[in-house]
């Protein structure tokens, strides 16, 4: 394909114009001429010829022409004009490379590129090579994929064969993941200049994490009445615990897998991520096989999953009230009370506690879940403490502390502390006065009251954990002081070794050594617990408080290190921690959640 531009050198301007007309195959009237250098007796004329109009010439892109003549191979560069694009140096370099020019003078080309326009000899005379199709190869994404661009041939150039293209990819180092169908498609479609992915890495397959499979219900107890024959419902028999039989399979463990490594397009391996083993839960009154892949119930009774431990326990049932005729209860298992717990009584259970009636100014301490069908009239003395979850209809002037979640319909001037989430949902779903804490989130229909009762709610970090961390930090300071004293004792013993009698020296030395061992172990345990608590505190920013209806003025919302004071009633809001402060957005939860 002929270039539309030429630099012509001749003895005269007329001769140069005639040469241009002959080159373009037209008459001089259709060519625009510009004199580059006027000739004289000692030098020829040099003109620039453009096949087109002056209007076209005013806004042309930069270009180049390559000419094989008797005196050598010549390269011409034509500078852009007007709004035309500058020279594509990559295209020029690729073109010259594909022409297979012998004894190619790179410096002559570079000088011409610097000048941006003109004509220069870049190689001695030789037969022109007309290149065929070719492919350019690019390896991207850290050797995760390879792309090819099909390069157009010159007129008369041959198409590239599939095996030739495949060999070029191999020479470029691509030995894995070649999509031969895609490569053939690129060669068949002839979409020159388009980039296509023809090879991709074999991605690693990460191992599967170990998994615990629980063969009993671990969700919070619903306390729903059981269905009986004929579609009827027995409201006296509630689903309050999960029964198990002796030898029943409780938990099985699927072991983690290693996964499969991958390979990039250059054949280098890509390491997979092995699966992590899951810790098999502890248990009480259970049988665990040697491989720790199966757990069975050791006896019939009730099963609960509390704070990472599977406990099978028997049930202590009381048909009636806990009163003076029953006294306080301290039972290694679960307790089910059909009536009320009267004021002044204490009920302790290593498992769960179920109360069918009302709890007065009494105390319940349970290692598992606590279910109170009605509520608590605490009179500022009632307290419920559960290692698991607490479900209660209402609580007035009492305190409820749960290692898991708390579900309540109404909390009035009470203290609620949930190690998981707190749900004030139901007919009222209200938290009025007092304080409410949850390690994860609080969901309530309303917080506070129309009388602007001060109500404090906090999500993200439990106050007892904050107090525990402060205690441990002070304890670390104390132990550090004790270690300094032991260092001073060692220094004293070194100096006084000759003065002290052997028995006294031995006594002091053994005492110091033993105390150092004890203090070192305590500091190690404390440091590990502090790190764990600090990680929990860092995650406190994830706490959220959702209000499904109204949060009244007088409420105080705390998340992480910031407090939001509600000065005006607000509806349908979610409070969360963002950029160092508590902010609110439209409620992210609904009453149907």
How does pLDDT run across 488-523, given as a tens digit for each residue? Answer: 888 888 888 778 888 888 888 888 889 989 989 999
Specify which residues 69 forms β-bridges with. 72
Residues 6+ apart with CB under 8 A from 410: 393, 394, 395, 424, 426, 428, 429, 430, 432
213-221: average pLDDT:
82
| Per-residue pLDDT reduced to its tens digit, 27-45 | 999 999 999 999 888 889 9
363-392: average pLDDT:
94
pLDDT tier at 590 (50, 70, 90 boundaries)? confident
Q: How far is CA 315 from the centre of its chain?
A: 44
| Per-residue pLDDT reduced to its tens digit, 180-199 | 999 999 999 999 989 999 99
| Per-residue pLDDT reduced to its tens digit, 80-106 | 999 999 999 988 998 999 999 999 999
- pLDDT at residue 260, rounded to an integer: 96
pLDDT tier at 325 (50, 70, 90 boundaries)? confident
Contact 105, 122 (CB under 8 A): yes
- pLDDT at residue 202, rounded to an integer: 95
Can you tell me the distance from the alpha carbon of 305 to that of 497, in angstroms, rounded to the nearest whole number?
58
140-153: average pLDDT:
93
Q: Assess whether pLDDT exceeds 50 at residue 236.
A: no
Q: Assess whether pLDDT exceeds 80 at residue 534.
A: no
278-305: average pLDDT:
89
Q: Assess whether pLDDT exceeds 80 at residue 347.
A: yes
405-419: average pLDDT:
94
| Per-residue pLDDT reduced to its tens digit, 470-494 | 899 898 999 999 889 888 888 888 8
- pLDDT at residue 462, rounded to an integer: 65
Kindly compute the dihedral angle of the four CA atoms of residues 488, 489, 491, 496, in this order, to the nearest 10 degrees. 140
145-171: average pLDDT:
92
- pLDDT at residue 235, rounded to an integer: 45
**Token couple for 205:** 């397959």
Q: Assess whether pLDDT exceeds 60 at residue 383.
A: yes
Which DSSP letter does residue 461 get? S
Which DSSP letter does residue 370 get? E
Can you tell me the distance from the alpha carbon of 382 to that of 377, in angstroms, rounded to the nearest whole number?
7
Can you tell me the distance from the alpha carbon of 562 to that of 584, in angstroms, rounded to the nearest whole number?
13
Can you tell me the distance from the alpha carbon of 279 to that of 296, in angstroms, rounded to the nearest whole number?
17
% of residues, the chain, pLDDT over 70: 94
Considering only residues 327 and 74, tell me which one the structure prediction assigns the higher pLDDT.
74
The 3-class SS string of 292-357 reads CCEEEECCCEEEEEECCEEEEECEEEECCCECCCCCCEEECCEEEECCCECCCCEEEECCCEEECC
111-137: average pLDDT:
93
Q: Counting Cβ atoms within 10 Å, is residue 373 exposed (0-12), middle (13-18) or buried (19+)?
A: middle
- pLDDT at residue 229, rounded to an integer: 62
383-398: average pLDDT:
95
Residues 6+ apart with CB under 8 A from 170: none
Helix (H, G, I), strand (E, B) or coil at 510: helix
230-241: average pLDDT:
53
Q: Assess whether pLDDT exceeds 80 at residue 421.
A: yes
215-219: average pLDDT:
85
- pLDDT at residue 434, rounded to an integer: 95
pLDDT tier at 230 (50, 70, 90 boundaries)? low
Can you tell me the distance from the alpha carbon of 203 to that of 180, in angstroms, rounded to the nearest whole number?
18
**Token couple for 121:** 């000899």
Instruction: Say which residue the tokens 């005006």 belong to.
Output: 568
261-285: average pLDDT:
93
Choose among 213, 216, 240, 212: nearest CA to 226: 240
Paired sense of beta strands 233-238 and 242-244, if any: unpaired
66-73: average pLDDT:
93
Least confident of 215-224, 352-361, 380-389, 423-432: 215-224
The 3-class SS string of 112-167 reads HHHHCCEEEEEECCCCCCCCCCEEEEEEECCCCEEEEEEECCCCCCCCCCHHHHHH
Please provide the average confidence, as pLDDT, over all residues in the chain.
89
Paired sense of beta strands 282-284 and 309-313, if any: parallel
- pLDDT at residue 221, rounded to an integer: 61
Helix (H, G, I), strand (E, B) or coil at 205: strand
Q: Assess whether pLDDT exceeds 50 at residue 287.
A: yes
Which DSSP letter does residue 361 get? S
Contact 364, 344 (CB under 8 A): no
Q: Assess whether pLDDT exceeds 60 at residue 233.
A: no
pLDDT tier at 591 (50, 70, 90 boundaries)? confident
Alpha helices (H) along 416-501: 463-496
Buried b (16+ CB within 10 A) or exposed e, 212-222: bebebeeebbe
Q: Assess whether pLDDT exceeds 50 at residue 111.
A: yes
Choose among 169, 166, 144: nearest CA to 262: 144
């Amino acid at each position: 394909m002929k270039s539309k531009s030429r630099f012509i050198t001749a003895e005269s301007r007329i001769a140069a114009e005639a040469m241009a007309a002959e080159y373009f195959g037209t008459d001089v009237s259709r060519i625009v001429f510009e004199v580059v250098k006027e000739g004289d007796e000692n030098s020829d004329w040099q003109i620039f010829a453009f096949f087109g109009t002056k209007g076209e010439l005013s806004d042309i892109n930069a270009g180049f022409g390559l000419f094989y003549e008797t005196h050598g191979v010549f390269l011409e560069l034509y500078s852009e004009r007007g709004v035309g694009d500058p020279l594509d140096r990559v295209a020029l370099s690729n073109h010259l490379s594909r022409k297979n020019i012998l004894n190619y003078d790179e410096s002559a080309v570079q000088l011409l590129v610097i000048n941006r326009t003109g004509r220069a000899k870049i190689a001695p005379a030789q037969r022109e090579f007309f290149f065929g199709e070719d492919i350019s190869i690019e390896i991207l994404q850290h050797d995760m994929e390879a792309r090819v661009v099909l390069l157009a041939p010159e007129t008369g150039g041959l198409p590239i064969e599939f095996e030739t293209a495949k060999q070029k990819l191999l020479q470029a180092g691509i030995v894995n993941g070649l999509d031969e169908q895609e490569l053939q498609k690129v060669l068949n479609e002839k979409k020159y200049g388009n980039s296509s992915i023809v090879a991709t890495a074999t991605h690693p397959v990460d191992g599967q994490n170990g998994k615990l499979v629980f063969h009993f219900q671990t969700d919070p107890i619903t306390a729903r009445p059981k269905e009986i024959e004929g579609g009827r419902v027995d409201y006296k028999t509630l689903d309050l615990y999960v029964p198990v039989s002796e030898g029943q399979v409780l938990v099985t463990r699927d072991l983690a897998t290693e996964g499969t490594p991958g390979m990039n397009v250059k054949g280098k391996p890509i390491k997979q991520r092995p699966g992590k083993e899951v810790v098999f839960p502890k248990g009480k009154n259970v049988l665990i096989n040697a491989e720790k892949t199966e757990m069975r119930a050791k006896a019939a009774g009730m099963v609960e999953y509390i704070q990472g431990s599977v406990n099978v326990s028997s049930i202590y049932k009381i048909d009636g009230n806990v009163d003076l005729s029953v006294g306080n209860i301290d039972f290694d298992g679960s307790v089910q009370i059909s009536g009320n717990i009267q004021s002044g009584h204490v009920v302790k259970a290593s498992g769960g506690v179920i109360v069918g009636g009302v709890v007065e100014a009494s105390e319940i301490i349970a290692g598992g879940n606590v279910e109170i069908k009605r509520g608590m009239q605490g009179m500022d003395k009632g307290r419920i403490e559960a290692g698991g979850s607490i479900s209660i209809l209402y609580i007035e002037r009492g305190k409820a502390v749960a290692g898991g979640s708390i579900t309540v319909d109404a909390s009035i001037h009470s203290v609620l502390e949930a190690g998981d989430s707190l749900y004030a949902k139901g007919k009222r779903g209200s938290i009025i006065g007092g304080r409410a804490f949850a390690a994860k989130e609080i969901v309530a229909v309303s917080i506070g009251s129309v009388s602007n009762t001060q109500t404090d709610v906090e999500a993200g970090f439990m106050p007892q954990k904050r107090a525990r961390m402060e205690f441990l930090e002070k304890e670390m300071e104390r132990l550090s002081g004790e270690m300094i004293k032991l260092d001073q004792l060692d220094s004293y013993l070194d100096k006084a070794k000759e003065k002290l009698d052997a028995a006294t020296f031995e006594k002091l030395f053994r005492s110091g050594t033993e105390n150092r061992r004890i203090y070192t172990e305590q500091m190690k345990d404390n440091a590990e617990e502090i790190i764990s608590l600090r990680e929990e505190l860092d995650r406190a920013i994830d706490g959220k408080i959702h209000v499904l209806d109204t949060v009244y003025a007088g409420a105080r919302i705390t998340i992480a290190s910031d407090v939001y004071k509600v000065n005006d009633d607000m509806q349908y809001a979610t409070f969360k921690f963002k950029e160092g402060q508590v902010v609110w957005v439209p409620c992210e939860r609904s009453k149907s959640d």
